[in-house]
Structure 1
Amino acid sequence: MASSNSIPSRVLCVDGDLAGESSTASRRIRAIVDALREHGVEVIESLSYEDGLANLVSDTAIHCLLLDWSLGANDEGSHAAATDLLRKLRKRNEAMPVFLMADRKALSGPMTVEVASLADEFIWTLEDSPAFIARRVEAALDRYFDGLLPPFARALVNYNRDAEYSWAAPGHQGGVAFTKSPIGRLFHDAYGETLFRTDMGIERGALGSLLSHSGPIGESEQYAARVFGSDRSYSVLNGTSASNRTIMSACIGEQQIALCDRNCHKSIEQGLAITGGIPVFLQAGRNRYGVIGPIHPDQMTPAAIAAKIAANPLAAQAKSQRAVYSVVTNCTYDGMCYDAKSAEALLGQSVDRIHFDEAWYGYARFNPMYRDRYAMRGAASSHADDGPTVYATHSTHKLLAALSQTSFIHVRDGRGAIDHGRFNEAYGAQASTSPLYALIASNEVAAAMMAGPSGEALTQDVIDEAIACRQAVAQVQRELAAKGEWFFTPWNAPEVTDPATGVRYAFADAPADLLAHEPSCWVLHPGESWHGFDALPDGWCLLDPIKFAVVAPGMQADGQLAEQGIPCDLVTAYLGQHGIVPSRTTAHMVLFLFSMGVTKGKWGTLINALLDFKRDYDANKPLAEVLPRVLAAAPARYAGMGLKDLGDQMWAELRAGRMGHWEAEAYAQLPKPVCTPRVAFQALMAGEVELVPLNEMANRVVTVGVIPYPPGIPIVMPGENIGPADGAWISYLRVLQHWAEAFPGFAKEVEGTIEKDGVYSVYCLKS
């Protein structure tokens, strides 16, 4: 990053007189532009409001706008265009300095109050000198840059500008060490000097301390709290896994009950191993495509929670029969967004600390599409003191714009609040004493990008692009279906209703503005078969439009497989061969995540690739042509096969092996807990375990979580009995093991297992 006095300043000047040469107005605006350029300011020239707006939308490196109010016909129509430009700018950037330029004599009619409020200053081009006007613009640029950088980023900029000599860690000393060897020099030049100059040890008091939350780092966390609506926010540099473990360490003691979403990340399992908590699980539903849905609200009532605790064989060991903590995954990886306000009210009757794991959902606060569906709703001060303490964890690197590893913990204090000093001990146990300051800055900048109107503008852009892609796929599918051909279908409601008019549209034909701004178009309504979660109350769950899944043909409405179908593992392999990497693949769906980095060109290429797959699949193109990497991985197995040949074999195995059936059975029930995850983990670390192959695993107690990907949810947790040889969990693993053997290169990842010679083994307690 650069200091404010070294950032290249860019000004957009929208003035039709820039094209002229002889008129007084042309000479005067040209003199103003020349004066700015003499002082090193880059000026972009635009002759119309339309071109000016296009520049502002496409170039966020513009720092100031000079706008001629009398451009064009200088009439009501041109003034309306200028007003529209200013409105659209302010929706994206409320701080950019705007100078409205006019000649008093040429001014037609009074400016409105709205226009006056959208602009910052006025320039009467024929009165003040060009040099004076240029100085006014430069002063506004300085103020803009000073206000643009949030606290820590500003401190880091200033530190880098001071160019100190350090005699402390790190040893590369601002990157100098790298320049002393050929490989080091390549590394240094690849990343640039600024990264290394801003990588320093904790001796730099001017930057504050991550562990004591002091100085600019503390100010940065306070800034993030204001942006995200929390009482306190903590910057975390080793992912939301560490954020989740921090919260659990602070909230749960040995032999205390924790209400845990079974649809949980592995870090929740790790938090249980650290704390010694007794998990009582809330189970989510599952549809015919294997999508894990939300927990039904009936499971969150006090009576249901009390019954779950009473039925848990480990709960009798608990210090109290009241849970001290609850965690819910919101939104899920597949895009299931809870009515978080209602979920909090339900859970708050039984527990004082509620944690929403929103790793994939840090943007929700900033767009009205998600109103009431996230943890940090409204202002922190607007919530009642007698409500539960609420935590949210955000992976700012996932769908916001921070660097990898960055995360935030947000806290809204209420009942059961944990004071900062106590919480910080848990935080320090998960943090490094040698943080990379570039990560802190990127976390803060990701928050700053969401502040003010830019947050809604940025998130709306993502929603708009995702909807455009969904509708394009739906239109292609409909066109091909009319010809009797197959194609992929977007996973969303096939029809939507405009609540204002009652008009019902096919999804492909619905007004894009309706889909982009009306949450009811994305709610899982009862009785709609597309989502497969019919028992849910209306409004309880919303499908996040930016988590875009396509469904391949083959799964029938009754949950049975058709005789013919397209296995999505093959689709993903094909896309990968063409440089397209989906987020996740199940047997019947491929998931793509839209973010601020997705463009029309990117999703247009995706649709082209899906069409290419259809063409090559229907033509049964040889694997040697379309999937050479697959063929190279197992040439004897795939020799002479075409794309459809392999797809037909895969589909036949899905039907014969009943993978979907056993997956559903494995997630429909909970194994019997024999000991807590902590006891199981300690046995593993002490070596009091044995590695047991699948064919000998019946009724053994596992000491690791067994987590097939997809869906990435544990079928068995540490301390649970894996059940009989013909039970759901071993049967599901047996099917996955056979799949890996039958189709080399397409094995499912099963975390917690150790594969050797095609056999899965799992660490279990010694018998």
Structure 2
Amino acid sequence: MNQPQAVPQTDRVDHFFSFPGARNDRWRGLHVAARDWSRGSGSAATVKGLFEGLVAYEGFFAYPGRQLLATLRQRIDSGQAAGAAGLAQRISEAIVTRSYKSDAGDWQSVETLAETPPDLNTPTLARGQGHRPYFEMLVVAPGAARRGESVIEQIRRLRRGEDAFIYEPVPVGSFEEAICAAILNPALAAVTIYEGFDHESAADLPVLRDFLASAGLDAASIAGDDLPLSLADALKRVRPELDIYLLSDRHVERIAGDVRAANIRRVLYAVEELLELHLCVLEGVADRYRTPFFDNLKAYARRPISTFHALPIARGKSVFKSDWIRDMGEFYGLNIFLAESSATTGGLDSLLEPTGNIKLAQEMAARAFGADHVFFVTNGTSTSNKMVHQALVAPGDIVLLDRNCHKSHHYGLVLAGGQPLYIDAFPMTEYSMYGAVPLSSIKKALLDLKAEGRLDRAKMVDLTNCTFDGHIYNTRRVMEECLAIKPDLIFLWDEAWFGFARWSPFLRPRTAMGAAEAIEKWMKDPASVQAYEAQQKELGKNPSAAKLLETRLIPDPSQIRLRVYQTNSTHKSMSALRQGSMLLVRDVDFGQVEAQFHEAVFTHASTSPNQQLIASLDIARRQMELEGYGLVANAIEIALDIRKEVNAHPVISKYFRVLSASEMIPDEYRQTGFVDFLEPGTDWEDQVRSMHEDEFCLDPTRMTLVCGTAGFDGTQFKKLMADDYDIQFNKTSRNSVLLQSNINNTRSDVANLIRVLLEISRKIEADLAKGGENGHAAFAARIKSLMQDVPDLPNFSHFHDAFRWDAGKTTPEGDMRSAFYSAYYADGCEYLPLNSPEVDQRLKSGPEMISANFVIPYPPGFPIMVPGQVISPETIDFMRKLDVKEIHGFERTKGLKLIRPDHAKNHIRK
């Protein structure tokens, strides 16, 4: 087979990000065309054209391989329609079902298969071992087009039946082809680099070459004086989980000692070490496959243990011997009970003070997620957030906080005694939701604190990335500009919904850990000092706040104390059990707060953590390291498919639509002008540029589906879909629901969703046809109520003076903790019915109404009142217009819970 000649000549975002699915479709298309040709209803020219489009990129995959492709080409060229159809069908089915990973017959033509005896070295089930996980290894070598079959055969001969895994090589001959293979082939788990390969591909790769240039991954941009090491660096930027091996026939000792070789797992002498390479590759994958806690838990469950501790359910005897709850055991199975224990010995470990396999599992998670430290948390990211607040925030510290963040941050500050300086996100009034907090608002808050001489009190910036609705911050820019104002700020990024992003090269730079890594690298570059000094010279000695607000600030790399924390709801986007969370740390000063952190763990973590939750976190890490790249690519493909099918459907699009990036993010925060993933004329280069440059971009896996135009409010539509169609959503707004694609979804899920939306749309049309003029008028009025008569979203007003005893004159922080606990005294509180005339009178003439607690309507799901906040007319108007049933902190029968003004005065400190 020749080297890859080209990829399909399309640069649409959905085509590029859905490459694996598109590959399956193209093989199915070739199979159908070949079948039609064999039946006399198709043409050889059509089959030949489809085949040429396929082989353009099949060199980036191990299967079907050069032999099968050559056989298929020969049959097509010689007019063997039936033979071509049969082979195309077999290859297509093997790719779609992935049977080639376990069936040796899939790799050979029928003629060859009949003549070849069974071979233990082919990718098949190992006798007596069950299924062996399959992966592919990229081999970058000069003359791969000529040497490819030889390389494949050499590596196959090294296989043994006792190998734990089985893999196939994918040979390419250039820097560009290596990067393209890493992007397009999710099955790659290792890379072997021989010296002497070319910078550029001899083949025509215009689309991918443009992409590589836009991402700074082309040979011209990244290649240094040592091309193999430059390639290793580039591959790690795309796929940091890959093991990379370098085979050299020169001074391997010198290469291994090069600081640039940090991305190389092993340097080997090419002349004599092919077996050593094979063993290293298997060991590298085994290292990621190992799950220290889960492995020990399985071993523990197999042992005959007598338990004399307080956990009757352990070992399952109380369940399986019972006449009344035996069905529980039948439902869950035996292992879940055998794997339960209160003990932290006998092969297990303590989550509170891990010293064994939990400690090792956390260290492996830190490696996988790009952190220095990781803490496993078994009671959700709500607890992870509170741990960070308790460990890092002291009473009186000021925390810049998104008012619309998860309630755990607000309660965390109540417990820690930190003073929130609330900053409002940009509003999306039409859809009754907020976006994210503009960087200008964050900078202004810091500069206001600086102007009042109180910047030293600012301890942390606490933001949600990405938001529930998919708004992603430019995390690097936020941290750099904030550090330019206060170099030791701590950042807490709540990435509860975004943990999967680590495994996408397009999303990773926008994660907390990805941005922290980039800033660390920038700090070590001498150019960072030059850039900082040049900007300082331009700004002058005492630049105005206005000037600083309009400038893209560069921090002093010699002064930065990079302290970044990321909380991650592993269970929300990876294969972990509910409440499984990880707390990621990349803090240069962590040694100074480590003791406090352990105290926070002792405070919030259960002394009886669920063993299965810990194991699932261990397993989730394993899965993402070994197949996360492909799983996330699939989630993106699913989301783009839903967008396309909903918005382009001639019937569904009359009543439903998925909002575009331009509808979710105002123009001023999309500096590149990016409109949407599927906007005509938009290509993936535009998307990559948006990801790099825009202040906010949209997570492609999160889709806001407008249902108000179909006459449904969000809650009503969510219930309809769950009750009548078994389709579940999570978040709703007044006129929309949020769809999330994840690593669990399949194209069958998309097909079911589209079928149901079409059925509902047709029912709407049928009802309108029956209802006549009055029916149309009522439908229009309902839509107007949902889509136009929406209440304005209330911004945070201010804290009452009683709880601003040490606050600045212009900054809005307050002592929320005192307000929260003052409401514990019943005689100091009062209730006012929401619609009572007294509420209006007090809004007009006073005394001010002071919220005694958090009031959180669902939707929108953020606190519109916090303890100590003065209630504004806008908040009351919003509350009165709300038509949701679930409002935490508000009892309709009693009304608003308020702190009495005279009681509040007792809290004013002199």
- Structure 1-normalised TM-score? 0.71
2:863 aligned with 1:693: no
2:890 aligned with 1:753: yes
**Residue from 719, 722, 725 that aligns with 1:578:** 725
2:587 aligned with 1:413: yes
Tell me if the contact between 2:425 and 2:437 (Cα under 8 Å) persists in the aligned partners.
yes
Tell me what 2:638 maps to: 465
Tell me if the contact between 1:227 and 1:451 (Cα under 8 Å) persists in the aligned partners.
yes
Tell me what 2:498 maps to: 361
**Residue from 815, 820, 835 that aligns with 1:681:** 820
**Residue from 716, 737, 753 that aligns with 1:606:** 753
Q: What SS does the corresponding residue of 2:595 show, helix, strand or coil?
A: helix
Tell me what 1:730 maps to: 876
Letter in 1 for 2:418: G
Tell me what 2:82 maps to: none
CA distance in structure 1 between the partners assigned to 2:674 and 2:499 by the alignment: 32
Post-superposition Cα deviations, 1:399-445, rounded to whole Å, max 9, x if no partner, equal 11110011000000125764322211111111001111110010111
CA distance in structure 2 between the partners assigned to 1:643 and 1:234 by the alignment: 57
CA distance in structure 1 between the partners assigned to 2:801 and 2:863 by the alignment: 14
Evaluate the alpha carbon distance shift between residue 544 and residue 54 of structure 1 in structure 2; reply closer, same or farther with a 3 A threshold: farther
Evaluate the alpha carbon distance shift between residue 690 and residue 196 of structure 1 in structure 2; reply closer, same or farther with a 3 A threshold: farther
**Residue from 451, 467, 470 that aligns with 1:332:** 467
**Residue from 479, 483, 487 that aligns with 2:655:** 487
Query: Structure 2: which 5+ runs fail to align?
Result: 1-61, 68-85, 113-122, 125-130, 138-144, 168-281, 524-557, 664-671, 804-814, 843-847, 903-910
User: Deviation of residue 684 (structure 1)?
Assistant: 3.3
CA distance in structure 1 between the partners assigned to 2:791 and 2:895 by the alignment: 20
Q: What SS does the corresponding residue of 2:506 show, helix, strand or coil?
A: helix
Map 1:438-517 → 2, pairs under 5 A: 438-452=612-626, 454-476=627-649, 479-480=650-651, 486-493=654-661, 514=683
Evaluate the alpha carbon distance shift between residue 685 and residue 182 of structure 1 in structure 2; reply closer, same or farther with a 3 A threshold: farther
**Residue from 209, 214, 233 that aligns with 2:350:** 209
The farther-off stretch of 681-690 and 292-301 is 681-690
Letter in 2 for 1:253: A
User: Deviation of residue 643 (structure 1)?
Assistant: 9.1
Evaluate the alpha carbon distance shift between residue 218 and residue 503 of structure 1 in structure 2; reply closer, same or farther with a 3 A threshold: closer
User: Deviation of residue 670 (structure 1)?
Assistant: 5.0
Tell me what 1:278 maps to: 419
2:134 aligned with 1:96: yes
CA distance in structure 1 between the partners assigned to 2:64 and 2:694 by the alignment: 47
Post-superposition Cα deviations, 1:232-252, rounded to whole Å, max 9, x if no partner, equal 000000000000000000111
Query: Structure 1: which 5+ runs fail to align?
Result: 1-11, 18-46, 75-84, 87-92, 100-107, 124-132, 496-501, 525-537, 555-563, 624-641, 740-746
2:479 aligned with 1:344: yes
**Residue from 394, 400, 404 that aligns with 1:253:** 394
Tell me what 2:564 maps to: 390
User: Deviation of residue 570 (structure 1)?
Assistant: 4.1
Tell me what 1:661 maps to: 791
Tell me if the contact between 2:506 and 2:688 (Cα under 8 Å) persists in the aligned partners.
no
User: Deviation of residue 203 (structure 1)?
Assistant: 3.7
User: Deviation of residue 194 (structure 1)?
Assistant: 0.6
Tell me if the contact between 1:229 and 1:378 (Cα under 8 Å) persists in the aligned partners.
no
Letter in 2 for 1:617: I
User: Deviation of residue 714 (structure 1)?
Assistant: 1.4
CA distance in structure 2 between the partners assigned to 1:504 and 1:208 by the alignment: 50
Tell me if the contact between 1:681 and 1:718 (Cα under 8 Å) persists in the aligned partners.
yes
CA distance in structure 1 between the partners assigned to 2:766 and 2:796 by the alignment: 39
Tell me if the contact between 2:381 and 2:569 (Cα under 8 Å) persists in the aligned partners.
yes
Evaluate the alpha carbon distance shift between residue 98 and residue 475 of structure 1 in structure 2; reply closer, same or farther with a 3 A threshold: closer
CA distance in structure 1 between the partners assigned to 2:368 and 2:679 by the alignment: 37
Evaluate the alpha carbon distance shift between residue 68 and residue 729 of structure 1 in structure 2; reply closer, same or farther with a 3 A threshold: closer
Tell me what 1:4 maps to: none
Map 1:514-593 → 2, pairs under 5 A: 514=683, 519-520=687-688, 539-552=694-707, 567-576=713-722, 577-593=724-740
Tell me what 1:290 maps to: 432
CA distance in structure 1 between the partners assigned to 2:879 and 2:888 by the alignment: 11
Task: Give the number of the structure whose residues are more often helix, by fraction.
Answer: 2
Tell me if the contact between 2:641 and 2:750 (Cα under 8 Å) persists in the aligned partners.
no
Letter in 2 for 1:754: E
Post-superposition Cα deviations, 1:213-233, rounded to whole Å, max 9, x if no partner, equal 210000011010000011100
User: Deviation of residue 307 (structure 1)?
Assistant: 1.5
Tell me if the contact between 1:574 and 1:613 (Cα under 8 Å) persists in the aligned partners.
no
User: Deviation of residue 98 (structure 1)?
Assistant: 7.6
Tell me if the contact between 1:66 and 1:98 (Cα under 8 Å) persists in the aligned partners.
no
User: Deviation of residue 611 (structure 1)?
Assistant: 1.9
The count of residues paired between Structure 1 and Structure 2 equals 616
Evaluate the alpha carbon distance shift between residue 716 and residue 68 of structure 1 in structure 2; reply closer, same or farther with a 3 A threshold: closer
CA distance in structure 1 between the partners assigned to 2:438 and 2:870 by the alignment: 26
Tell me if the contact between 1:471 and 1:507 (Cα under 8 Å) persists in the aligned partners.
no
CA distance in structure 1 between the partners assigned to 2:751 and 2:717 by the alignment: 17
User: Deviation of residue 344 (structure 1)?
Assistant: 1.2
User: Deviation of residue 163 (structure 1)?
Assistant: 3.0
User: Deviation of residue 294 (structure 1)?
Assistant: 2.0
User: Deviation of residue 254 (structure 1)?
Assistant: 1.0
- Structure 2-normalised TM-score? 0.60
Q: What SS does the corresponding residue of 2:583 show, helix, strand or coil?
A: strand
CA distance in structure 2 between the partners assigned to 1:504 and 1:411 by the alignment: 33
User: Deviation of residue 619 (structure 1)?
Assistant: 2.7
